[in-house]
A and B are shown apart, each in its own frame.
Chain A
Amino acid sequence: MKNTLVKKAGKKVAAIALIGSVIFSGALAGCSNNESNADSDKTTINVWGMGEEAKSLPKIAEQFEKENPEIDVKVQAIPWDTAHDKLLTAVASKKGPDVVQMGTTWIPEFASANALKDLTPHMEDYPELQASNFFEGSVETTKYEDKVVGVPWYVDSRVLYYRTDLLEEVGYKEAPNTWEELRDAAKKLAERGEGKYGISIDTKEQTLGFMFARQNGSMLLGEGNKPLFNEKEFVEAVSYLNGFFEDGSTPKQDLGIDIVQAFKGEGILPMFISGPWMVKLINDQAPELEGKWATAVLPAKESNLSALGGSNLSIFEYTKNEEAALKFLAYMSKPEVQIEWKEMTNSLPANKKSWGDKSLQGNEQYKTFGEQMENSQAMPVIKEWEEIAQTFLTSFEKIYRGGEDVQKEMDAFNKKAQEILAD
């Protein structure tokens, strides 16, 4: 008697579990397919945007929907610091967005995992995607091996921000033009008194050291990706940067204050090197500084090559709506759309034609970036670069904080880089 009862109970549990799982999996499947099934002539594409700018993406997407009524765009905004994890999950599960915004430095990693679609076969149908429309440097970041896995969306480049009033006090009517002048200006500014410095060197910024090394003529990687980090050009650049720490032109320890706070007022840090997003931040947070600060192209040694960054748009390999995704990419690449995007988010258009627009030409700050863009180069497009850059930051910390010998530390770093590249 009891036996059958239990058996029945067991069966019931099994049945409920089965029904439950069916409903559950049905609901899961529904999430991804329902919309396209309900309205069969409408395709939905999922777009993953990152960071602050993703909040403005829906507005652009709306305009796109107006032009392409058969396509529905769903935008998901992901903060930059969790984006990498989220993309990893998407790659592992092979379920993800249709269109994804990619930071330029992530391209090699995800391209090597075959997570991004090769756009080469579609270039003829969608002339907006062709490389000739964009800055050469940012086109480089969309290439992986012999594939083109993205289209440049917006670009950024690093320039020098400086306080015109404070620099004039120490005898610089214009921004420092050369390495020596920068060094000298920083030193003089630091001599203003206790707790004041000349320039901010962001020790968490991955590109800074490599950027200076390139200005000194270093190739970073030689033929066959042989690291050249212990050669004279690179070591000199690191010593140059370390010099700022050694003579107190830049603080060895984190001051614990925001760069805008340090830039305004008395100018604890009257110079820093950063990207275009700082223009808006300074205007918003320190409006009283107007007329007292400016941007300038980087001081030169052999060149004044800057680091090029920004974002690309890519199509996720496992998308089912390739056609619609391509249309979206083409739309976002149009010069007029890129200008509109610049108005919304202050990010600089990657399309060269957009730069003819007067809103960019008439603005001093943006003009600086346009000029610097001509002399900007992205970090090497290899998937190991992230790890190499991290290792460099650790090595550099040992130098400026731990007082290690530059040549010795760079030898060690070069060896580590060889190991990373050999794996």
Chain B
Amino acid sequence: MKGTINKKIPYLFIAPALILLCLFSLFPIFVALIISFTDIDLAGLADWSTISFIGIKNYLDVLSDPIFLKSILNTLFYVVFGVPLVIVCSLGIAILINYGKAPIFKAFRAVFYMPSVTNVVAVAVVWSYLYNPQFGLFNYILGLFNIPAVPWLQDPLMAKISLIALALWRAIGVNMIIFLAALQGIPKTYYEAAQLDGASDWKQLTKITIPLLRYAIFFVSITTMIGWLQFFEEPFIMTDGGPLDSTTSVALFIYRNGFQLSNFGYAAAGSFILFIAIIIVTLIQFRLQKKEVDY
């Protein structure tokens, strides 16, 4: 008797979270799934009787939409270049900050974390001035060295790179904190033993630090990858997907169709394709993780 009650009590504690999760996460996903098989538009929102089921037409249409295909390629570009960059940069900075003992390094921790807590719209406004082709700081500096102005946001390829640079700068902070926490969790005794054996700093880094950070790296790579697959704010504010749709991400494509053109069904179909892609990518990462040996 006592046992069963004790078993039930935990549910009481998680009930609020569970109810909220169902109401605001699972239920909307379910609704979106239904919507993706309908032709719902603004009129349908007001009067449900005008909605009709059209099967998988939305999915077929969205998969043959050249802009959607382009947005997938763009998103892959962001993921392929963005994820490794974020991991390498934030890990590098975390190790450097952890290595230094002077109090100034604490200040650096704050400096690198700052972009993560700044409002993205404010950041984007400031960066669009930095990228401004006429009076931007970047082109001004290039001009000092007699390098011709770079069309930061005006050239299809350059615009993608510019957005990655901005997002990278924003993403470093949070991930650096995760790495720092993991770094400080590594027992000092490992390093002492290695130093007694005469291992160099580089050896210590590659044989002790990196292997023991495996779980942190795994966590950061998954969260970063999901984040980049949903890349939205930067292209939305800085370029609005242009020039020539070269910076349109899948998320921006979905937003545009759903909220600007009121093609809710079409947008829901697009978002489900993204949803499935994210699940597949995450599963692959878990599979790869399992294959490695445990320490």
Contact = CB atoms under 8 A, between A and B. Distances in A.
Partners in one complex: yes
Interface of A: 2-3, 6, 10, 13, 84-85, 88, 91-92, 94, 109-110, 112-115, 253-257, 317, 383, 386-387, 390, 394, 397-398, 401-402, 423
Contact of B243 (A88, A114, A257, A401): A401
Given A2-B5, A255-B134, A85 B259 contact: yes
Contacts of A10: 12
A110 B42 contact: yes
Given A84-B260, A109-B262, A255-B133, A91 B1 contact: no
A401 B9 contact: no
A398 B47 CA distance: 38
Interface centre among A10, A110, A254, A386 (most CB of B within 10 A): A254
A91 B259 contact: no
A3 B5 contact: yes
B136 interface: yes
A115 B245 CA distance: 33
B242 interface: yes
Contacts of A109: 42, 262
A113 B45 contact: yes
B271 to A, nearest CB: 17
Contact of A256 (B5, B9, B135): B135
Contacts of A383: 42
A91 B242 contact: no
A109 B259 CA distance: 13
Given A114-B43, A394-B245, A402-B244, A3 B1 contact: yes
Contacts of A257: 132, 134-135
B261 interface: yes
Contacts of B243: 397, 401
B244 A113 contact: no
A87 B77 CA distance: 35
A398 B244 contact: yes
Contact of A387 (B45, B154, B261): B261
Contacts of A253: 133, 151, 154
B259 A88 contact: yes
A397 B47 contact: no
Interface in B1-47: 1-2, 5, 8-9, 12, 39, 41-43, 45-47
A113 B134 contact: no
Contacts, number: 73
Interface residues of B, number: 32
Contacts of B1: 3
A147 to B, nearest CB: 14
Contacts of B8: 6
Chain B interface mostly: loop
A88 B45 contact: yes
A383 to B, nearest CB: 8
Nearest to B132: A256
A108 B134 CA distance: 40
14 contacts: A3-B1, A6-B8, A13-B12, A88-B42, A88-B262, A94-B46, A253-B133, A253-B151, A254-B153, A256-B128, A256-B133, A257-B132, A383-B42, A387-B263
Given A2-B2, A254-B133, A114 B259 contact: no
A216 B39 CA distance: 37
Contacts of B262: 88, 109
B173 to A, nearest CB: 28
Contacts of A13: 12
B134 A112 contact: no
A91 B42 contact: yes
Contacts of B135: 256-257
Contacts of B67: 394
Contacts of B263: 387
Nearest to B155: A253
Contacts of A3: 1, 5
B2 A113 contact: no
B43 A113 contact: yes
Interface in B83-104: none
A256 B135 CA distance: 8
Contacts of A401: 243-244
Contacts of B46: 91-92, 94, 113-115, 317
Contacts of A255: 133-134
B121 to A, nearest CB: 12
Contacts of A88: 42, 45, 259, 262
Contacts of B128: 256
A92 B45 contact: yes
B205 to A, nearest CB: 43
A53 B193 CA distance: 72
A300 to B, nearest CB: 32
Nearest to A390: B261
A131 to B, nearest CB: 25
Nearest to B9: A6
A255 B78 CA distance: 26
Contact of B43 (A6, A112, A394, A423): A112
Nearest to B43: A113
Contacts of A254: 133, 153-154
B152 to A, nearest CB: 9
